[in-house]
Structure 1
């Protein structure tokens, strides 16, 4: 029974000017197992075109090429892939071995595309390599062996999947005479072992080894005659057929991609380093913003009691403060507090919030130019007078202690202006509150550690209330402090205060605003740094396009031995994934090193870590690098997958 039948096969090409050139004309042939057939003819006769059709590299023809009763022309992509894996093996004139793969890996490649286990494919490949006389060369690269040995590797690769048909394209064209005879004897022996072997050649010497010679001229079969009879032998080339129900796995494509990248190791390292610059810049910008933000938050939190929430009346609240507010708006330098006062119902409402243990009344007054403190010959203006609450703890006091009756705490800068040693000394305080001028003599009990804040005098609410009553005025709280029974409940208390339409701490609001501005600034800087990622993507795209061009023949070989378009895409996408992964790892590593150096310097000079590189930023940087690289690799991968195997194999 014929292994293959050709019936009325015609093949035409479009040429320049829209004309059609007919390469094959009404070809009718039949081939059986155990034949060694030479298809001979001059250059341009159509023999290579016929070989491409028989091998399934080109299925655009008219007529029928029947294998097991099915026309190759009607094969789906899946069926054509299976045909290359199961039925046909190729031996090329120029060997077409993949230079960066070892002899063993070149032979196992066809089984790798079928996802055969490593142990099975190496066992099978070594058996074939032993039969063709290359047992001692399995781990060498193609450049380390002779031309004859390379052709033996190509023969082993063609045989390893135990196909029914072997197609040899000028198998001795690149060999010397002695080596040619050895290879031809081997090919003859393969046919005698029961396989159909078809050689395409123009050499009469090669044809002399054949059991049948088909002559083709101008696209037509002009002669088909018997040659030397073959002697059927025991099939020493036979191997256990591999599992052909699978395709190239993701892990297999990763391995092939790694081997490809290893071949151009220096170039790929430079690409990864180039791509890492953008990732490193983005990570550093985000980490810098995180560090500055953390420093701001920690500084604010260090100066407040975590159990206490500061509350103000809303801006629209008026009550008995209306006239005072009007005066303040008319003359801001009067030193009047513009904050609305709390009524009894307000404090009771706030006291009813869950987890509020107590409510402390307070008062704060901000003024410019109307408040001053004096000690001996020194006088200094201050901008705020505030009552002491649980918000201020002894940890905030640099020297001394919190004030009692007749005592005040002043800020460090104010103390430096008035004198070197003030704790325990009396100072004179003049300030204007609710239109009443207060002139007080108070003892400094402590120095408040305010860094960069306004000069402030702190005293108890009772002291300020008594002093204002003696001056003929009345003090009403314009600020209250809610003391929580649990630090973890403080945030929920603040949320409830906001829901009740009261205002929180102006310091916290200012810090939040600054934090938001800092976040925006950080993201802008990260975006600017991210421009380099676009450059990286273009670089990766360009390099992968170059790789496609460099490996065009390799792509043709992979398709000829059963590689799907999907497999080709997967290999190139895997390469872009690995480039992205290495770029991300390099970027994170460099960013981490620079952050250590920057933090060492900032800790030395400012006692703070200025860069906080979190695992989230590191992981996000790696993921971003992979995504950008894979997106950049999609077009080259698609181009590689669409390459015509016939054209690819012709590429030098």
Structure 2
């Protein structure tokens, strides 16, 4: 069997719903290695169609095409890709060199698509270029070469993978007569080296240089004439055999990224503008997240400055009370069952009450005064790991009935409580912490009574505080004036009166009431255990301090506003995605011929897609880096400005935000690039090569 054999080849082109144009009609041909065959015919005769089929660019035909005893008409895509890489080399009339690549990169392109190692592909390419007289042209771009030099580069690209077949489409059509002869000499020597060379031409002068002329007209072979032995030419070009060929693989991701970078460099100005546009959205999102984090950190830091880091304030909740009541009911029922077994039937026991707070509005979060701790609760909290001590306390809140009386004048206050371990001498601007039968009042309450707060030290006042449905009152000496600083919570927001737990117990005893604690202060063994204790307290069903609750509420509201602002800023990402999609679509149109060339020399659909996705990845990466950089600069300037006015910083751009910004930018860009990449991958190589 001949090296290349065509049997009963027919090709049809659809020209309507039910009509087809018969372009090739029962073609039978066979070729051997070492032949220089010219296929000639008028325009529209079918010679280019035949060339495309023999070159594996068009697989929609009937009949058989055998190459080295394999039927390429039955090839899968993977096999056809290998056929392009190993068996076929194309030389085009219009050269089809990639304009933004150097001469050396144009030649190595075929091996780059085969993932041949860098050293091998450069060595091979330089050897071929030097043989073709292009020793000094390696680093030049195609537009710096003459027509003859460009065609030599195209020949070098066709030869670099050492294919068995060279198909040249009008290789001298764009050259003058002298340069044409030089190119034909090279092509003849390629055939003499043992390769099958097929020229597609309409030039009789070119055909005369062949060893065989096949004439085609209206899709039929009308003449197949052997011309005899080729005339020897001057050995200005001696084709040296290449070293042992490396096994062809596929385009690597790193090679795809390099090719994408080279293309982006060619359109540098445009790509910089795209990256800048994309960076605006990333910058906005990172800034909003940094602002939210910064404000939240400021709020938390302010809170921590006004509390003892070893103290955890804890309150009862409805869930905890219900749990305790349920446990007590179960214990009583068990006792009843045991009694029934030993003493006979007994009446059912009903434990009344559900621990619900009575009355209407109970004040801000964490200020309820109806839920009291019992002995079991205290023991449960004491058993938490790393708890050092437990201090019981009391706090209540009233909008109208809490008041202090001084010199027959009443002054209302809202928050009443016992002294907590959180209160330190730094919170007392005048006087000192109260002892037995003494109270401490807030600065605002003191100044409402006297012009100057310090004048109230040592004065006696009558304190009235609402306890359920009763009003308890007693006369006490003011020991100190308290300032909450920037603390959050009732004691930091509302006017307050504080006394010791011992004084509070005495107040209750005078009224014949039992003293109950509704707040517990837990002391941690070390600051590092405080967070774990808080989590354990929460798991047991207890509530944190009013400050913690309010801080959590503020943090949640802040998070909501941050997400809303981030979402608004994210709209610009959609605009960026549309911009990237549009630009990459334009890039596909601009590079249609380049895509056709890559497919002709062995580029898979996956390779084409990978190159364009790599380009969108790089755009997203550079946009993200630029956006994060701008956000960092703006947050730095913003913090300097705000710190100079308010002595605080409100932008906190964490590494996580920076990484998230770059990641989101890449994802958005890659998603936007998928459609253009798929469009490029699906281009018909025949149609792509025809595009000017």
Q: TM-score, normalised by structure 2?
A: 0.87
SS of the residue aligned with 1:311? strand
**1: distance between equivalents of 2:361 and 2:620?**
64
1:410-489 counterparts in 2 under 5 A? 410-417=441-448, 418-420=450-452, 422=454, 425-433=457-465, 434=467, 435-444=471-480, 447-450=483-486, 453-466=493-506, 469=509, 475-489=515-529
SS of the residue aligned with 1:163? coil
Q: CA deviation at 1:370?
A: 3.9
Shift of the 35–351 alpha-carbon distance from structure 1 to 2, 3 Å rule, reads closer
Counterpart for residue 388 of structure 2:
357
- Of 359, 364, 368, the match for 2:399: 368
Shift of the 248–219 alpha-carbon distance from structure 1 to 2, 3 Å rule, reads same
Counterpart for residue 36 of structure 1:
36
Shift of the 474–27 alpha-carbon distance from structure 1 to 2, 3 Å rule, reads closer
1:98 aligns with 2:129: no
- Of 643, 646, 649, the match for 1:609: 649
**2: distance between equivalents of 1:355 and 1:625?**
45
Shift of the 90–143 alpha-carbon distance from structure 1 to 2, 3 Å rule, reads same
1:258 aligns with 2:261: yes
Counterpart for residue 153 of structure 2:
153
Which segment drifts farther, 569-578 or 391-400? 391-400
Which segment drifts farther, 212-221 or 182-191? 182-191
Shift of the 563–456 alpha-carbon distance from structure 1 to 2, 3 Å rule, reads same
Query: Do 2:446 and 2:456's aligned partners in 1 also have CA atoms closer than 8 Å?
Result: no
1:117-516 counterparts in 2 under 5 A? 117-227=117-227, 229-230=229-230, 236-315=239-318, 329=360, 338-372=369-403, 381-398=412-429, 401-405=432-436, 407-417=438-448, 418-420=450-452, 422=454, 425-433=457-465, 434=467, 435-444=471-480, 447-450=483-486, 453-466=493-506, 469=509, 475-516=515-556
**2: distance between equivalents of 1:398 and 1:155?**
92
- Structure 2: stretches of 5+ with no match in the other structure: 326-352
Q: CA deviation at 1:640?
A: 1.0
SS of the residue aligned with 2:680? helix
Cα-to-partner distance string for 1:298-341 (whole Å, 9 max, x where unaligned): 2222222222222223348699xx9x999954999xxx984334
Query: Do 2:403 and 2:464's aligned partners in 1 also have CA atoms closer than 8 Å?
Result: no
Q: CA deviation at 1:505?
A: 1.6
Query: Do 2:87 and 2:165's aligned partners in 1 also have CA atoms closer than 8 Å?
Result: yes
SS of the residue aligned with 1:171? coil
**1: distance between equivalents of 2:431 and 2:600?**
88
1:543 aligns with 2:546: no
Cα-to-partner distance string for 1:490-541 (whole Å, 9 max, x where unaligned): 3443344444444332221222222222222222222222222222222222
Cα-to-partner distance string for 1:48-100 (whole Å, 9 max, x where unaligned): 11111111111221222211111111111111111111111111000000000
Shift of the 290–382 alpha-carbon distance from structure 1 to 2, 3 Å rule, reads same
Which segment drifts farther, 194-203 or 342-351? 342-351
Q: CA deviation at 1:349?
A: 4.1
Q: CA deviation at 1:155?
A: 0.7
Q: CA deviation at 1:150?
A: 0.7
Shift of the 456–58 alpha-carbon distance from structure 1 to 2, 3 Å rule, reads same
Query: Do 2:214 and 2:223's aligned partners in 1 also have CA atoms closer than 8 Å?
Result: yes
SS of the residue aligned with 2:454? coil
Cα-to-partner distance string for 1:581-631 (whole Å, 9 max, x where unaligned): 111111211111111122112222222221211111111121111112112
**1: distance between equivalents of 2:431 and 2:138?**
84
Shift of the 327–47 alpha-carbon distance from structure 1 to 2, 3 Å rule, reads closer
Query: Do 1:400 and 1:447's aligned partners in 2 also have CA atoms closer than 8 Å?
Result: no
1:77-116 counterparts in 2 under 5 A? 77-116=77-116
**2: distance between equivalents of 1:226 and 1:584?**
64
Query: Do 2:404 and 2:464's aligned partners in 1 also have CA atoms closer than 8 Å?
Result: no
Counterpart for residue 347 of structure 2:
none
**1: distance between equivalents of 2:373 and 2:65?**
97
SS of the residue aligned with 2:517? coil
1:577 aligns with 2:580: no
Q: CA deviation at 1:171?
A: 0.7
Q: CA deviation at 1:397?
A: 4.0
Query: Do 1:37 and 1:197's aligned partners in 2 also have CA atoms closer than 8 Å?
Result: yes
Which segment drifts farther, 553-562 or 635-644? 635-644
Shift of the 613–326 alpha-carbon distance from structure 1 to 2, 3 Å rule, reads closer
Shift of the 453–80 alpha-carbon distance from structure 1 to 2, 3 Å rule, reads same
Query: Do 2:624 and 2:663's aligned partners in 1 also have CA atoms closer than 8 Å?
Result: yes
Which segment drifts farther, 342-351 or 133-142? 342-351
CA RMSD across the alignment: 2.9
Counterpart for residue 625 of structure 1:
665
- Of 574, 593, 596, the match for 1:556: 596
Q: CA deviation at 1:421?
A: 5.5
Query: Do 1:161 and 1:241's aligned partners in 2 also have CA atoms closer than 8 Å?
Result: no
Shift of the 79–326 alpha-carbon distance from structure 1 to 2, 3 Å rule, reads closer
Query: Do 2:430 and 2:454's aligned partners in 1 also have CA atoms closer than 8 Å?
Result: no
Query: Do 1:103 and 1:138's aligned partners in 2 also have CA atoms closer than 8 Å?
Result: yes
Cα-to-partner distance string for 1:537-570 (whole Å, 9 max, x where unaligned): 2222221111111111101000101111111111
**2: distance between equivalents of 1:92 and 1:159?**
13
Shift of the 385–31 alpha-carbon distance from structure 1 to 2, 3 Å rule, reads same
Q: TM-score, normalised by structure 1?
A: 0.92
